[in-house]
Structure 1
Amino acid sequence: MPASLVRESEVDVLVIGAGPAGLMCANGLAKAGVNVRIIDQRPSKVAAGQADGIQPRTIEVLQSYGLAERLLREGNQMHMAAFYNPSPKGGIMRTGRAPDITAPTARYPFEVTLHQGAIEAIFLDSLSSMGVSVERPIIPTAVELDQNPIVLKDPQSHPIKIVLQHLDASEGQSETEIVYAKYLVGADGAHSWVRKSFGISMDGEQTDYIWGVVDMVPSTDMPDIRNKCAIHSDNGSCMVIPREGDKIRLYIQLTDADVLDPHTRRVDKARVTPQRLLDVAKKSFRPFRIETDGEIDWWTLYIIGQRVASKFSVHERVFIAGDACHTHSPKAGQGMNASMNDAHNLIWKLTHVLRGWADMSLLKTYEFERRKYAQDLIAFDKSFSALFSGKPRTDDNQEGVSHEEFVEAFQTFGAFTSGIGIHYAPSLVVNTTHQSAARNLVIGQRMLPHVFVRAADARPVELHDLLPADARFKLLVFTGAPSAAQLARVHSLAEDMARPEGALRVHAHAMDVLAISAGTKDDVDYTDIPEVFRSHWSKVLVDDSDMFGRTGGGGYEAYGIDARGALVVVRPDGYVAMVAPFEHHRDIDRYFESFMRAL
């Protein structure tokens, strides 16, 4: 084809891969007004199966983008877990029940299960409402990154040249397109073309555990079929995940004899059928019956591989996210959650740099934060997978995994599996200097949810609802007790923070301000708060219960803030960036000066 017929275009961010990580990334960037394109090689979206579990922290994240309501409406909620172990009489017996999630501070203290296609549809519809659609089927065939340091250091340059092939180009239309991008995000799965193109290795190993997965509507007499079930039987392990409607998912541990070709010792999927998987599950369920009245909705096999990419970015221009940079077993329900939270971490950082709000150094914190998390995830996954895949302890096998050991691990890991315990280490965007000013708001962890009451109209509000993922930092001014002396301190603080060279003025475009008083709805007027601390009448809150005492109150105590007040900076992704007592408020100026640019 003549070069003149090859299409050429420019874009701020090109996202390759329209799975959960790519869709989250494209949606967040589009919502922030970034010029973004997303491509995928699949001709159509996922119809069934794949990942299906959304953890409590991820629900909070989706809520911050305005997407949680539909998820909660369409999905199944998992509140309780049941544990089954070998019975002295043969077969299995229930040995206990426990909360599915051990995350007492979670706003949504449960998991939501819904098949990946329905989860992706939430993003696809959101993107469509902003005029963005997944372009498919398209594959990338070549990529070049300009190595000129001057070009790379210019955040508005287009150093990435990528060649795309449109697989279903109409007659007369060029199949080939050359795209010049400022930034590239590879969210293209475990076999990532982007990762391979830049020679990024995946470090780790493959385990010997082989599992089958079946989605179906069960016919059973097992009483816990609508709870998460961890089944350890003498015939192997099995996990039950209740799903939307009447569906369930079964994770079924397989033996080498079930799946390996006896000559090559490789997994031979042709040796396995969904009915064969169900037959294996039936042995683990005895004495309970498990059948399906209808068709198997979806099924697959997998061998657990636990790997982390050696790096997550190239010159802060090319990034990888999701399965492209970490793979692990699906039984703890982390894959899709980790993937979407990679994107959530990257979205605001790219937005700030593209808008000229922040220096490109901010982009280095993506790999620093998310690679450490991925490594922690692999360490957790190895422990959990070994426990789950291990033989149960019995009179004949004292070396096996005991019920108590498994439940303790299940609950200990709760903060991790729920996503609530994700903790980013000190960096350019995490400053732990004044942690004591808000003892229970752990700097580097997500802002704790809490119900406060609006001073103007006594309406109870969940603080998380006032911290949307809109690419802006939130400054929470805990103004303390409503005494005359304390109010004088607040007004003095406001006067100094409002000076022209202060962060509150210099970065006003990138910051929203809320005030939270320790007073009651009866004794605080929203107009008592200095204007610089009340960006809107709805953003002055009191730490009190609602008019009928049903919700709210106790926020200062929950956050570990005393009556003298404190300043809390929350990042655009909802994580606590720093806290400071009034006397050290200028440390906030220095925090922003370290990576933000004055417009």
Structure 2
Amino acid sequence: MKESNVDVLIIGAGPAGLMASNAFAAAGVNVRVVDKRPSKVAAGQADGIQPRTIEVFQSYGLADRLIREGNQMHFAAFYNPAPGGGITRDGRAPDVTAPTARFPFEVTLHQGAIEAIFIDSMKSNGLQIDRPIVPESIEVSGDDSELNSPDSYPVKVVLRHLDAQEGESGTEVVHAKYVLGADGAHSWVRNAIGFTMDGEQTDYVWGVVDMVPTTDFPDIRNRCAIHSPSGSCMIIPREGDVVRLYLQLSNEDAKEVINAKGRIDRTKWGPDRLLEIAKRSLQPFTISFPKEVEWWTLYIIGQRVASSFSLKERVFIAGDACHTHSPKAGQGMNASMNDSHNLVWKITHVLRGWAHRSLLKTYEFERRKYAQDLINFDKKFSALFSGKPRTEDNQDGVSHEEFLEAFQTFGGFTSGIGIQYLPSPISRVLSENASNIASNLNIGTRMPPQIIIRAADARPFELHDLLPSDTRFKVIVFSGDINELGAQKDRLAHFASAACGEDGVLSRLGVKKLLSGRAQGAAGTVTSRKSWTTVFEVLTVMKGKKETVNYTSVPAEMVSHWSKVFVDDIEIKGINGGKAYESFGIGFEGAVVVVRPDGYIGSVLSLDDVQGLSDYFETFMS
């Protein structure tokens, strides 16, 4: 029987598994991904990418293709019962209600195309999916010394190759340091390690159908929330001319498709029944379907969260394996991929010896709280969506104003922009004055976008593009105005020496990690005192004018390259830029902002608080 060792084994090549696989491969981690499907998804499944997830794609260099191939959804329309029958439009509103979103729209693209973006990126880093393969058993060591050893492979997984030829061994054994179960709502990994899915199932049954319609409905290319006398409906425009319809089944229809075990029996129905519901729901508008349906399904809305997301910080689950909910707010695939985005850098840091294994506990701490918040939100939103509309005969129904208020109130959550992680070792308030240092930056939220100007050549940059997901912590130093000699320049010089000098906090911690035996394979050999920039990256943003600032004014200890110094000024066209200090609430004394490798704010400090900077990193890196 074939045996092998791997640092990370990923089981499942859906969105969560591929996000993790691509990120690990880009980080140079020894990773393997297996999937039971013989090929990627061909049609249907998840299809909506929220604004924050587009930012995450951008951080991996994948957003351009996503936006190019997908459909942009900017507007939402709301329809309710008309007094004389049928439906009427009560209004339109922006689809995204998150003021700081860099991409103020959703992208819709079928799951197979999204998977292809990851698969092609992985290939460029020498990683492919092994298929069709299923896991047969998993065993985690109970020896604490083995579990805590950075060099051990304490997880044993037996895999079976479904395409093994006659006479060949169809099984193999993989010894892994870490395993990620990203194998969907019916997760084999979750069940095998004894985790449960806790929550409840509603009585709402919905159908989904993807097709190219012919219609006189005026908002067919906008996201639509429709409360009709025939039931609720949602319209999601997709790439090309494709449209997705979510259609609520009546109580009588629901009874017809639910079997004795409480599960959907798709053999009782077909897409034609769904299309008939669509025709009734959209009256007085007409809709027909001259082309063949691309994909369809039925589902029951259920809201559940796994009892745990991690076993001994060696086996993790992500995506639908640890949370399920309705697709109405377009959260499923987004939540799944952001689980992986949160976890990958943490495992990578531990594998390299840059962080203690305790860092891995923050994955469940952060993402399980988010999943529970998502379920609580989904209960409210799906109830509003699936509830009967308010009419003259049903004054207790859902009103347009009530639905629109919820749609806009939850905008920060559904877009992903407003998500905030609770305080932890990697999201810490280290100064009582933190809220005054940068009054508009909230620790635990993602770093907002801003246009800043590179000091050396006046080229404008989006701040997000300077914070790629490359596993490094970014330390953004808002230096204030240092163009002239004075107290502010002296403060910056002291910070540069204490943080970045040969005996500085970042230099000391960074070189220490690179010199550790475990870091050599991943990070290379230390060749100069600036090698600490493999672990940390320092960016400086000065206050001043592009016509007069000099990038050479920044102390040399802080400048790993001339391209790392910027000024908060308007770009040459006079349209964008010059608002970073104001938008972030940073005064003339400046600030130091620690940004985690996943783009979330880890801490906010004053220029004088180098000890706080040391305390932040040494908590989990010592």
Q: TM-score range by the shorter chain?
A: over 0.9
- 1:457 alignment counterpart: 457
* Cα distance in 2, alignment partners of residues 573 and 9 from structure 1: 30
Moved more, 258-267 or 440-449: 258-267
Q: Cα 1:442–1:114, aligned 2, differ >3 Å: closer, same or farther?
A: same
* Cα distance in 1, alignment partners of residues 226 and 256 from structure 2: 27
* Cα distance in 1, alignment partners of residues 272 and 560 from structure 2: 61
* Cα distance in 2, alignment partners of residues 467 and 327 from structure 1: 31
- 2:478 alignment counterpart: 478
Secondary structure, in 3 states, of the residue corresponding to 1:98?
Answer: strand
Equivalence map 1:511-530=2 (5 Å): 511-530=536-555
* Cα distance in 1, alignment partners of residues 226 and 150 from structure 2: 52
Under a length normalisation based on structure 2, what TM-score does the superposition of the two structures give?
0.94
* Cα distance in 1, alignment partners of residues 74 and 156 from structure 2: 48
- 1:438 alignment counterpart: 438
* Cα distance in 1, alignment partners of residues 303 and 52 from structure 2: 22
- 1:374 alignment counterpart: 371
- After superposition, give the CA deviation of every residue in 1:68-126 in whole Å (9 maximum; x if it has no partner): 11000000000000000011121000000000010110000000000000000000101
Say if 1:515 and 1:539, in contact at 8 Å, map to a contact too. yes
Q: Which amino acid aligns with 2:275?
A: L
* Cα distance in 1, alignment partners of residues 127 and 535 from structure 2: 25
- 1:3 alignment counterpart: none
Gaps of 5+ in 2: 511-531
Equivalence map 1:31-430=2 (5 Å): 31-261=26-256, 266=262, 267-430=264-427
* Cα distance in 2, alignment partners of residues 542 and 440 from structure 1: 19
- After superposition, give the CA deviation of every residue in 1:511-537 in whole Å (9 maximum; x if it has no partner): 011000011101111111111222211
Equivalence map 1:516-595=2 (5 Å): 516-595=541-620
Aligned-pair CA distance for 1:501:
4.4
Secondary structure, in 3 states, of the residue corresponding to 1:394?
Answer: coil
Secondary structure, in 3 states, of the residue corresponding to 1:484?
Answer: coil
Say if 1:514 and 1:535, in contact at 8 Å, map to a contact too. no
Say if 1:502 and 1:589, in contact at 8 Å, map to a contact too. no
Secondary structure, in 3 states, of the residue corresponding to 2:608?
Answer: helix
Aligned-pair CA distance for 1:577:
0.2
Percent identity between the two aligned chains: 64
- After superposition, give the CA deviation of every residue in 1:341-374 in whole Å (9 maximum; x if it has no partner): 0000001000000001100000000000000000
Q: Which amino acid aligns with 2:284?
A: P
* Cα distance in 1, alignment partners of residues 82 and 406 from structure 2: 22
Moved more, 549-558 or 491-500: 491-500
Gaps of 5+ in 1: 1-5
Say if 2:498 and 2:505, in contact at 8 Å, map to a contact too. no
Aligned-pair CA distance for 1:170:
3.1
Secondary structure, in 3 states, of the residue corresponding to 2:200?
Answer: strand
Aligned-pair CA distance for 1:433:
3.0
Q: Which amino acid aligns with 1:489?
A: R
Say if 2:135 and 2:159, in contact at 8 Å, map to a contact too. yes
* Cα distance in 1, alignment partners of residues 496 and 271 from structure 2: 66
Say if 1:91 and 1:284, in contact at 8 Å, map to a contact too. yes
Q: Which amino acid aligns with 2:285?
A: F
Aligned-pair CA distance for 1:173:
3.1
* Cα distance in 2, alignment partners of residues 290 and 569 from structure 1: 53
Aligned-pair CA distance for 1:264:
5.3
Say if 1:56 and 1:420, in contact at 8 Å, map to a contact too. yes
Matched positions, count: 592
Q: Which amino acid aligns with 1:24?
A: M
Say if 1:259 and 1:272, in contact at 8 Å, map to a contact too. no
Asked if 1:467 corresponds to 2:464, the answer is no
Say if 2:449 and 2:462, in contact at 8 Å, map to a contact too. yes
Q: Which amino acid aligns with 2:485?
A: A
* Cα distance in 1, alignment partners of residues 354 and 265 from structure 2: 53
Aligned-pair CA distance for 1:494:
1.2
Q: Cα 1:264–1:476, aligned 2, differ >3 Å: closer, same or farther?
A: closer
Q: Cα 1:271–1:256, aligned 2, differ >3 Å: closer, same or farther?
A: farther
Moved more, 588-597 or 70-79: 588-597
Under a length normalisation based on structure 1, what TM-score does the superposition of the two structures give?
0.97
Aligned-pair CA distance for 1:460:
0.6
* Cα distance in 1, alignment partners of residues 145 and 578 from structure 2: 54
Equivalence map 1:486-505=2 (5 Å): 486-505=488-507
- After superposition, give the CA deviation of every residue in 1:462-497 in whole Å (9 maximum; x if it has no partner): 010010000000000100023422112211221222
Aligned-pair CA distance for 1:457:
0.5
Secondary structure, in 3 states, of the residue corresponding to 1:127?
Answer: helix
Secondary structure, in 3 states, of the residue corresponding to 1:582?
Answer: coil
Secondary structure, in 3 states, of the residue corresponding to 1:546?
Answer: coil
* Cα distance in 1, alignment partners of residues 258 and 63 from structure 2: 49
Q: Which amino acid aligns with 1:527?
A: T
Secondary structure, in 3 states, of the residue corresponding to 2:267?
Answer: helix
Secondary structure, in 3 states, of the residue corresponding to 1:572?
Answer: coil
Q: Which amino acid aligns with 2:184?
A: G
CA RMSD in angstroms comes to 1.2
Where in structure 1 do 4 or more consecutive aligned residues deviate above 4 Å?
Answer: 262-266
* Cα distance in 1, alignment partners of residues 251 and 35 from structure 2: 35
Say if 1:477 and 1:533, in contact at 8 Å, map to a contact too. no
* Cα distance in 2, alignment partners of residues 16 and 408 from structure 1: 40
Secondary structure, in 3 states, of the residue corresponding to 1:431?
Answer: coil
* Cα distance in 1, alignment partners of residues 24 and 265 from structure 2: 41
Say if 2:41 and 2:111, in contact at 8 Å, map to a contact too. yes
Say if 1:259 and 1:271, in contact at 8 Å, map to a contact too. no
Aligned-pair CA distance for 1:432:
1.7
Moved more, 252-261 or 30-39: 252-261
Say if 1:194 and 1:320, in contact at 8 Å, map to a contact too. yes
Aligned-pair CA distance for 1:594:
0.7
